[in-house]
């Protein structure tokens, strides 16, 4: 059993998806930069535990390795966390996908308003199974549940969007691609004011 765990860990390390759990605990000192985000040390520890296989049974390790191989071969793991805007409204969808173009097309089907990406974030290369990005999608849904309109659609302000972007960029160290400067005005303003301090 120990040999299988070591094989799993070695294989996953070879692809750069396993780090020491403490590296995933990045509870930020900059929480004042994104006041609507309530990411606690407990959340950070939960993310760290997603990558800890040390207490796993042989079957769990075998299943994780099989899932890992399938995700790599079939490119099924979610790689992107995105925010889509519905028309000119304040309705935004927070979701995850492994194919941005296909996902937007799926959402656009049957929707009478034009949907567009505001911003998307790429998962860390250490997250090839999409564990952290999936956790963070769920976290954001819970964090903004008081703004939920329906399902994964939320009534958000530009300030909320700035909080999400700053949190994922600075605290979680995700790469990002801004697709719409208008919605990111508050984000750019905060970056500029922080640089001046």
Question: CA angle, corner 192, sides to 191 and 193, nearest 5?
Answer: 95
Structural domain boundaries of the chain? Answer: 77-196
pTM, rounded to two decimals: 0.79
pLDDT for res 58? 84
pLDDT at residue 88 greater than cutoff 70: yes
Euclidean distance between CA atoms 22 and 51, whole angstroms: 10
User: What's the pLDDT tens digit per position in 54-85?
Assistant: 777 888 778 777 777 776 666 666 789 999 99
pLDDT for res 104? 94
User: What's the pLDDT tens digit per position in 103-157?
Assistant: 999 998 988 999 999 999 998 766 767 788 899 999 999 999 999 999 999 999 9
For residues 21-35, average pLDDT: 58
H, E, C per residue of the chain: CHHHHHHHHHHHHHCCCCCCHHHHCCCCCCHHHCCCCCCCHHHHHHHHHHCCCCCCCHHHHHHHHHHHHHHHHHCCCCCEEEEEEECCCCEEEEEEECCHHHHHHHHHCCCCCCEEEEEEEECCCCCCCCHHHHHHHHHHHHHCHHHEEECCEEECCHHHHHHHHHHHHHHCCCEEEECCCCCCHHHHHHHHHHHHC
* Mean pLDDT of all residues belonging to the chain: 81
Half-sphere exposure of 23 (CA within 13 A, CB side): 10
Instruction: Kindly list the distances between the CA atom of residue 114 and the CA atoms of 105, 111, 164, in Å, as whole numbers in the listed order.
Output: 11, 7, 23
% of the chain beyond a pLDDT of 90: 46
């Amino acid at each position: 059993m120990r040999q299988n765990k070591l094989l799993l860990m070695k294989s996953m390390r070879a692809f750069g998806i396993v780090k020491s759990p403490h590296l995933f605990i990045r509870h930020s000192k900059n929480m004042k930069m994104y006041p609507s985000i309530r990411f606690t040390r407990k959340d950070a520890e939960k993310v760290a535990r997603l990558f800890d296989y040390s207490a796993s049974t042989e079957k769990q390790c075998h299943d994780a390795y099989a899932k890992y191989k399938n995700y790599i071969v079939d490119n099924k793991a979610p790689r992107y966390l995105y925010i889509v805007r519905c028309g000119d409204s304040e309705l935004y969808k927070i979701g995850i996908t492994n194919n941005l173009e296909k996902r937007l097309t799926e959402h656009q089907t049957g929707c009478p308003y034009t949907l567009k990406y505001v911003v998307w974030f790429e998962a860390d290369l250490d997250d090839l199974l999409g564990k952290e990005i999936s956790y963070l999608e769920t976290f954001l849904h819970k964090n903004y549940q008081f703004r939920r309109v329906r399902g994964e659609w939320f009534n958000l302000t530009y300030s909320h969007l700035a909080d999400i972007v700053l949190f994922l960029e600075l605290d979680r160290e995700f790469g990002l691609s801004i697709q719409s400067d208008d919605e990111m005005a508050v984000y750019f303003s905060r970056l500029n004011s922080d640089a001046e301090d």
